[in-house]
Amino acid sequence: MKRILTLIVLLGLSLCAAAQSPRFKLGKWTEIRTAILQELNRSYVDSLPVDRIERRGIDAMLADLDPYTVYIPEEENENLEMMIHRTYGGIGAVIYKPDVQGPVIINEPYADSPAQKFGLVCGDEILAIDGESVVGLTSQQCSEKMRGDPGTQVVFHVRKLRSGEETDVTVTRERIKLSDIEYAGMLDGGVGYISQNGFSDGVGEELRQKVAELKKQGMQTLVLDLRGNGGGLMNEAVEIVSAFVPRGTVVVSAQGREADASYTLRTRKAPVDTKIPVIVLVDSGSASASEIVAGSLQDLDRATIMGERTFGKGLVQSIRPLPYGGELKVTTAKYYTPSGRCVQAIDYAQRREDGSVAHIPDSLTHEFKTAHGRTVRDGGGITPDVELKFREYSRLAYSLVTYGILEQYALEFVRGHESIPAVEDFHLSDADYEDFIAFAKGKEFDYRSSAKTYFDRAKEELRLDGLDEAMKDELDALEKSLNMDKEEFLRVKKDEIVPLIEEEIVVRYYFQEAGVKIRIRYDDALRQALSSERIAQY
Look at the chain and count its residues.
Answer: 538
Residues 6+ apart with CB under 8 A from 420: 426, 505, 506, 509
In contact, 156 and 109? CB cutoff 8 Å? no
Report how far residue 419's alpha carbon sits from residue 41's, in angstroms, rounded to the nearest whole number. Answer: 64
Judged by DSSP in three states, 265 sits in: strand
**H-state helical runs in 230-365:** 234-241, 289-299
**Which amino acid does the sequence have at 308?**
E
In contact, 516 and 195? CB cutoff 8 Å? yes
Judged by DSSP in three states, 389 sits in: coil
Judged by DSSP in three states, 263 sits in: strand
Report how far residue 495's alpha carbon sits from residue 405's, in angstroms, rounded to the nearest whole number. Answer: 17
Rounded (10°) angle between helices 234-241 and 289-299: 30
Closest CA to 472 of 464, 482, 462, 481: 462
- 195, 200, 242, 288: the active-site residue: 288
The reply to whether 443 belongs to the active site is no
What's the distance, CA 484 to chain centroid?
33
Three-class SS of 106-166: EEEECCCCHHHHCCCCCCCEEEEECCEECCCCCHHHHHHHHCCCCCCEEEEEEECCCCCCE
Residues 6+ apart with CB under 8 A from 478: 455
**Which amino acid does the sequence have at 306?**
M
The reply to whether 517 belongs to the active site is no
- 201, 283, 299, 523: the active-site residue: 299
The reply to whether 313 belongs to the active site is yes
Report how far residue 203's alpha carbon sits from residue 124's, in angstroms, rounded to the nearest whole number. Answer: 32
Burial (CB count <10 Å: 0-12, 13-18, 19+), residue 188: exposed
- 313, 339, 356, 523: the active-site residue: 313
Judged by DSSP in three states, 470 sits in: coil
Radius of gyration in angstroms for the set of CA atoms belonging to the chain, rounded to a whole number: 28
In contact, 389 and 528? CB cutoff 8 Å? yes
Closest CA to 252 of 295, 282, 193: 295
Annotated active-site positions, please?
288, 299, 313
